[in-house]
Structure formats: C-alpha cells, structure tokens
Structure 1
C-alpha cells in the first residue's frame, strides 16, 4: 500500500502544483474555482487530509518565493499582528527566515492548501 507521503506528493503534483503561482496573491473565489481545484479538494476531504500535519512553510519551500507583503500577512494570520509588525523593516531573506521560525508548528497554511470550510461554502452559495 502506498505511504501517506506518496499520496500527498501525487495529490500536490497533479492537482495543486498548477495552481501554485506564488508571484500573484491567489484567492479562492466561489465564482472562479477550477475543476482541478474542486477535484483536489474532494480528494482531500475524502481522505481527511490535513496538510498542516504534513507541511510547514519554510524560506526554501514558500516564504522565499512570495512577496514581503505575503510573508507579513502569513505571520499576521499565523502568529500575531505584533509579530508581523516586527518583520516589516527586514530585508526579504531575513524576513523569510524569521517568518519560518515564527510560523514553525503553528499549523498555518497558504490559502491554496487549506481545506474549505463547509459552512462558509454553504453561506457563499446562499
């Protein structure tokens, strides 16, 4: 039987990878969800895949690839407003490394890797 890591790599490689364009701020929109994303979300929910248990943002895999504004927003969401404010004046490499330390073991995920909240999706459809 394939391991969980194999399943995750296949899921990300075939479904999420085309959506991960870190040069632009990606936002989920109920009006513009691609069939690929819908399929990936259905698969993730079917196996109760919680990406926070298998992935953490690092300077190498995410934080070094996005803009400074995205890094600050990630720290604001995952840690606190005060922690985000402390990063504001750092240069990008130092900011990415500091954010990696701050976000370690916090369970923060970029929007594209988060499972949708069924209640919020139902509210959007109404």
Structure 2
C-alpha cells in the first residue's frame, strides 16, 4: 500500500470543517499544528508593527494514494482556497515509506478496493 502526505494550511476557523470533510472523504486521521504563519503574493498588513493576518493551522493527513486526490478536493472546497484568495493552500507529497499505520490498513483495504 502506498501513501501520500496531504498538507493543508487553513484559516483556524475552518480547521474543524476541513477535518470533517477529509474524514468523510476517506482520511483516517490527521495532525494539526496550530498558529502557523505564512505570506502570499500580497504582503500582510501591519498596524504599529502588529500583524493583522488571521491565524492558520497546518493540517497533515497521511492517506492512501488512491484516495488522496478526492480528499484534497474536499479540503479545497471546505477551505474555499480557490474561491477566495488568501484563504489557504493544500498540496500532496509522495511518501516513500511509513510505519505505525498497520492498524489503519484493515480499514483502508476495503475503501481502496471500492475506489479501484
């Protein structure tokens, strides 16, 4: 079984919705890192040196490769990444090897067989 790592940088008020959407699309878990910062094409505005940007969370999902694109699309919809500029991004990276996921394999086998 091969995996992809999905990484989403999400506005913190949308993190729960993104997690729910990913789980509904087949993700079996996630890791959330709070208070990430980023900067896009437009520089962030400041007021007396204080940043006026919204907080972001980094959400990481280790998912089976056949499910990854569908999960990525659901994350995008919930995060409104393409609909509203500056709301966040999500991308996937190939994973060469993973350990500690044997307990998820049984669940994933059924889901992947349906996709193939």
TM range (shorter): under 0.3
Higher relative contact order (CA 8 A, sep 6+): 2
TM-score computed with the length of structure 2 as normaliser: 0.26
User: Which structure has more helix as a fraction of its residues?
Assistant: 1
User: Which structure has more strand as a fraction of its residues?
Assistant: 2
